[in-house]
Structure 1
């Protein structure tokens, strides 16, 4: 019998848990699901005889060791900063590891030891990162195989509400780690365009989104995502002139979110002393000029941001109740934490809501002296409130790859990533069987979009 330990039973874990339990009898697995919220883990196991829920706190090393030491594979959906801590224990007890997050330097540093011990530590096996990597590399390798010269690679992904559930002014609800949404982009973004290295600092990242039209669906706006430049090397596109990875949102989101950034409300690097004794109105007022001539705080907010008083953007900000007399409950919180507590209710993913993941990839390449574009796109919706699109697209790639490692179908060892055919071909093929598949086409074009 093989022991599978799933660390984390949150919003992205439902389909991962379901998949591993579905195949547990067939492959003789015992599946343990650990979470600080044991009842959530129990609910997602649903009484399955091969499943067990346990209390698991990733900030308690002794508790992590208790469960990791008996595991053959650890599938980590922990907070991104805690994957390496779990992996270190897995390394000690010779367990494989799968994560759905970006690999940290600490994780990458385990490569040689994991390889020597015959272990696979497979990272970035979610949606973004994950599915986007795999489809991108499948497209790149196919173009290279037929002799194409790649000139531009752009990849976009967004976790959004389906149109039928897009019923608030922001066009957004939390379907995955809310704090990650609040702090998204805080490190700025870097990418290559027309052979030039470009950087966008956080305070301007959301100020000028690009318009992206997904074939057969609709237009979205996009902001550049993290350090795209580093992925040129990872994708073996060392000299490609244009390489951009970006995040999709409904039109209007970026402009409004930029206002929160300009106010300073998304900062997570300092604390508000006595925040628990303040109202949201008092807190936001602390960032604004002092009132003069009986001007209302609402109008001071608009003037400070140089937006129209009572205009659509002003109304969108006030809809959050940031100027309400609601008391702040967070003790000594950072601005990001205080904002999070407010938006958790306003941007709540409600029963009956449907989410979706939107992927869009566009590649320009030359073949036999002619210019082509390759476009891949996918819109996949959630099944219900638990089996969401984010749960399916994050959990299923991790689950499929874990199965492959346990069954000896992935034989490479060390710290690995999904941009190799050994991983991306079988995982994408099985995802397609589960209804998660891209549509793609290649078209001859006259001009590049980037010149």
Structure 2
């Protein structure tokens, strides 16, 4: 959901079951070398109160992925592979292959040939790239057995965690990009600025990038609590300046850095 606090204030809501992937996916205008795309991540309006952003005109929290993610995920959705509803084939069938499970999802006989399944999938999706993704993920395999969970989503997630695990020479990356548009009141006129904060962190042989940006702040806050540097008690969000500034300072000492820019408009 996006909040648009212009004179024609409105809340834009994208439907589930592929609506976000189909209608909300855009190409960002930063870091072109990474070939990224962005889509809205859940309800952005809930951050207005917690971050004290009552005066904002528009707010969007998005997720960055490599180009093609939205389209290929949309294909998985349309085939029912991301459904969180229980499926009988995952509860009452022994030694089920991925090809047989695809037949069940497509209402085909289990002895249907792989070529015929491909044709049916292509006819349903009308997208060659989505079909290629289904094939590359091993979802048409006649040999790989499904490690069944209660629903297609959990079953596929369990399979992809193994299929797409990092190899010996691969590493993860975390990219964060913030844009804040500001209008400053002036004596003669209003002045507009765009402030950006950008962070690109790579994993290494010791830690993944995700482990660094999640684990280090947690460790820093734990030390701060032990040393009584945080007087607040209970569940405390890290939006207080006295808390987050100390965390950011120590993160820089640990090699977690970011770039800040201000562009006059």
Runs (4 or more) in structure 1 with deviation over 6 Å come to none
Q: Do structure 1's residue 225 and structure 2's residue 41 form an aligned pair?
A: yes
Aligned partners of 2:30, 2:135: CA distance in 1, in Å? 31
| Deviating more after overlay: 251-260 vs 273-282 | 273-282
Give the aligned partner of residue 427 of structure 1: 247
Aligned to 1:206: 21
Task: State the partner residue of 1:238.
Answer: 54
- Superposed CA offset, 1:270-318 (max 9, x none): 2432244321111111121547x997111101111122xxx33321221
Q: Which residue of 2 aligns with 1:297?
A: 117
Distance 2:221 2:80 in 1: 40
**Secondary structure class of the residue paired with 1:373:** strand
Q: Give the RMSD, CA atoms, in angstroms.
A: 2.1
- Uncovered stretches (5+) of structure 2, i.e. residues with no partner: none
Among candidates 80, 84, 102, match of residue 284 of structure 1: 102
- CA-CA distance at 1:333 after TM superposition: 3.0
Aligned match for 1:408, one of 228, 238, 261: 228
Query: Are the structure 2 counterparts of residues 340 and 278 from structure 1 closer, same or farther at C-alpha, using a change threshold of 3 Å?
Result: same
TM-aligned CA deviation for residue 330 of structure 1: 2.7
| 2:137 is the alignment partner of 1:314 | no
- 1:385-417 per-residue CA deviation (whole Å, 9 max, x = no partner) reads x41111101100100011101111111122111
CA distance, structure 2, for counterparts of residue 243 and residue 259 of structure 1 = 28
Tell me by how many angstroms 1:342 deviates: 2.7
In the alignment, structure 1 segments of 5+ residues that lack a partner are 1-189, 446-451
Give the corresponding residue for 2:199: 378
Cross-structure match for 1:270: 86
Query: Does the CA-based 8 Å contact 1:381-1:388 persist in structure 2?
Result: yes
C-alpha deviation, 1:261, in angstroms: 1.0
Q: TM-score, normalised by structure 1?
A: 0.53
Q: Contact 1:211/1:220 (CA < 8 Å) preserved in 2?
A: yes
Task: Pick the aligned partner of 2:219 from 391, 399, 415.
Answer: 399
TM-score when normalising by structure 2: 0.87
CA distance in 1 between counterparts of 2:96 and 2:159 reads 13
- Counterpart of 2:61 in 1: which secondary structure? strand
Alpha-carbon distance between aligned partners in 2 of 1:199 and 1:265, rounded to the nearest angstrom: 24
Kindly indicate whether the alpha-carbon contact (under 8 Å) linking 2:98 and 2:146 is maintained by their aligned counterparts in 1.
no
Q: Give deviations 1:93-116, integer Å, cap 9, x for gaps.
A: xxxxxxxxxxxxxxxxxxxxxxxx
2: CA distance, partners of 1:197 / 1:441: 29
Q: Distance in 2 between matches of 1:341 and 1:372?
A: 45
Measured in 1, the distance between the counterparts of 2:168 and 2:234 equals 41
Instruction: Identify which of structures 1 and 2 has the higher relative contact order when contacts are C-alpha pairs closer than 8 Å and 6+ apart.
Output: 1
Q: Deviations for 1:164-214, whole angstroms, at most 9, x for unmatched residues?
A: xxxxxxxxxxxxxxxxxxxxxxxxxx2313542122222211123111133
Equivalent residues of 2:203, 2:210 under 8 A apart: yes
**Do the aligned residues in 2 keep the contact of 1:196 with 1:241 (CA within 8 Å)?**
no
SS in 2 for 1:268: coil
The answer (yes or no) to whether the contact 1:214–1:377 under 8 Å persists in 2 is no
Q: What secondary structure sits across from 1:266 in the alignment?
A: coil
Q: Residue in 2 aligned with 1:196? A: 10
- Larger strand proportion, structure 1 or 2? 1
